Homo-oligomer: A and B are copies of this chain.
């Protein structure tokens, strides 16, 4: 092999690693990571995102522009606003990977996570087993999100009872089943609250830990980011 050939491949490898590192860098900003995690739950307008992340609208918009240019998010126009969404399911899968790795690496992170959950909520079964239990009638999965979000990314086998409705109508649920609760993904405290509520009423309830993306497997189609 000629040495020129080697050098050429060397440069190709530089391009490859540069590109991949650039992708990783997109997740390396707290603001952008929050945006993407939010979008993995449901599509939202710039204003909504800004409100939920606590950033300014202009800054949020700028981050979204960049994510759009790189194909990580997509937009569609609504009447008056632009609704952003994740570009593909791979993105939220990747975010899950990232969270997994970070939790493994950082004891501090694990501790912070445990502060979001009430103790004793740790779920004894995984998501697949939970779905199986639902099939056999022994358990129910309850999706605590508002109807709009739940309708966007439905969880297979789950029934949607927004947290407010659960507060008033929980006692109508049958007692002879186990309850696995999900809310807005891994770092939402909603499911933990629901568990507390149901347990106070004598139910056997757990927080099901897994993101919607993994549970669901169905994603909006990728749009052309033009």
Contacts and interface: CB of A to CB of B under 8 A. Distances in A.
Interface of A: 1, 9-10, 12-30, 32-34, 37, 54, 70-72, 87-88, 90-91, 93-94, 97-102, 104-106, 108-109, 112-113, 115-116, 187, 189, 193
A94 B101 contact: yes
Contacts of A109: 15-16, 19-20
10 contacts: A10-B54, A15-B108, A16-B112, A19-B108, A20-B33, A23-B106, A24-B98, A24-B102, A25-B25, A94-B97
A73 to B, nearest CB: 11
A116 B24 contact: no
Nearest to A222: B104
Chain A interface, >50% SS class: helix
Nearest to A96: B97
B88 A104 contact: yes
Contacts of A72: 105
B29 A101 contact: no
Most buried by B among A25, A70, A99, A102: A102
A131 to B, nearest CB: 24
Contact of A112 (B12, B26, B187): B12
A37 B18 CA distance: 13
A63 to B, nearest CB: 12
Given A28-B22, A187-B16, A70 B33 contact: no
Report which residue of A19, A88, A115 has the largest number of chain B beta carbons within 10 angstroms of its beta carbon.
A19
A71 B23 CA distance: 22
